[in-house]
Amino acid sequence: MEVGIDSFAATRSQSKAHDAAADMREMENLLQRIDLADQAGLHVFGIGEHHRKEFMDAAPTMILAAAAARTKQIRLTSAVTVLSAADPVRVFQSFATLDIISRGRAEMVVGRGSFIEAYPLFGYSLEDYDELFIEKLDLLLQIREEETVKWKGKFRAPLNGVAIYPRPVQEPLPVWLGVGGTPQSFARAGTLGLPLMVAIIGGETHRFRPLIDLYREAGRKAGHAPEKLKVGLHSLGYIAETSPQARDEFFPGYAETFTKIGKERGWGPVTRGQFEAQTGPTGALLVGSPQEVAEKILRHSEALGGVSRLTFQMDNANLSHEKLLHSISLIGKDIIPLVK
């Protein structure tokens, strides 16, 4: 199992005015965390894509390229690329360039995103939510397979035998499909034979097993080998020396973030009791000591029929840079050996 980190480049600046110095400091801290993840032996680091004031990941390939120039081993990916609101040609070109800079360490996770700001920002309608993604994924995969592309669709100009460069180091460039909870998305990933990255940020992880079984069955029916149908798990998490310490440090920022999101989506405020339930044996949150979290990762993997990749998403909780560095160190020093 590969173990890594996903970051949304959360900014901790509370200023309503633009604070360039704070932005530069936060970005340098993020790059330092990617450096440490590489040195600590983590397998992958992902950068999300959002178009909101509280996140600085609107241009994730820029961040990943900066990280590629500073690291040696760790794989660098998106988490996720909002493909529905992007041009697949530019997405492919950006990640192919990243693959060259990183000497073959680039990947992408493509999806529709959990927020909707990208759609009006780039001139798309939410009424086309499903059609946009299906068409653009089709084009992206064709570009990945063919240097010269003939293609026609509804949402962009046709490509009439156009050659698309640069080409990546890896053939093919790894593309994962990022999903939330719709059966159609799981089945689509299986039919296409794409590795699956499942974002589970709440509830009980084992409840996703029927959807993952659907993915594997769709892949089998489409003729894909079982080893091609990899499952990754993206979970909120944080490691400290002891479980009480981890929970006490993680909860305040977690509650603040999800209470804010809840106001947008009709959820009630997050309580400590709800949080504790989520950090329990079957809950989705991976917050605790190295031993407790490693055991929970293995339980989750068994419950889902085998997980190939696990990524912690921890920087949305207003944790200090120093605490995040320490948590990354514990993942490399303790979590990965325990899981192995």
Q: What is the pLDDT of residues 266-300, one digit of tens each?
A: 888 999 999 999 999 999 999 999 999 999 999 99
CA distance 117 to 114: 10
What distances in angstroms separate CA 272 from CA 128, 189, 254, 259, 277, one per listed residue? 38, 36, 10, 12, 9
Work out the average pLDDT over 256-274: 87
Residue 11 pLDDT exceeds 90: no
CA dihedral 71, 73, 74, 78 (to 10 degrees): 80
- How many percent of the chain have pLDDT more than 70? 99
CA distance 292 to 288: 6
Residue 189 pLDDT exceeds 80: yes
At 3 the three-state DSSP class reads strand
pLDDT tier at 14 (50, 70, 90 boundaries)? low
pLDDT tier at 181 (50, 70, 90 boundaries)? confident
76-80, 109-113, 213-217, 261-265: least confident range: 261-265
pLDDT for the residue 186: 97
Work out the average pLDDT over 200-229: 96
Q: Are 55 and 42 in contact (CB under 8 A)?
A: no
Residue 335 pLDDT exceeds 70: yes
pLDDT tier at 13 (50, 70, 90 boundaries)? low
Q: What is the mean pLDDT of the chain?
A: 95
Q: Are 206 and 303 in contact (CB under 8 A)?
A: yes
Residue 66 pLDDT exceeds 90: yes
For 192-214, what is each residue's pLDDT tens digit? Answer: 999 999 999 999 999 999 999 99
The residue with tokens 């996703």 is: 208
Residue 163 pLDDT exceeds 70: yes
At 319 the three-state DSSP class reads coil
pLDDT for the residue 284: 96
Tally: H helices and E strands in the chain: 12, 12
Work out the average pLDDT over 310-321: 90
Residue type, position 193, single letter: G
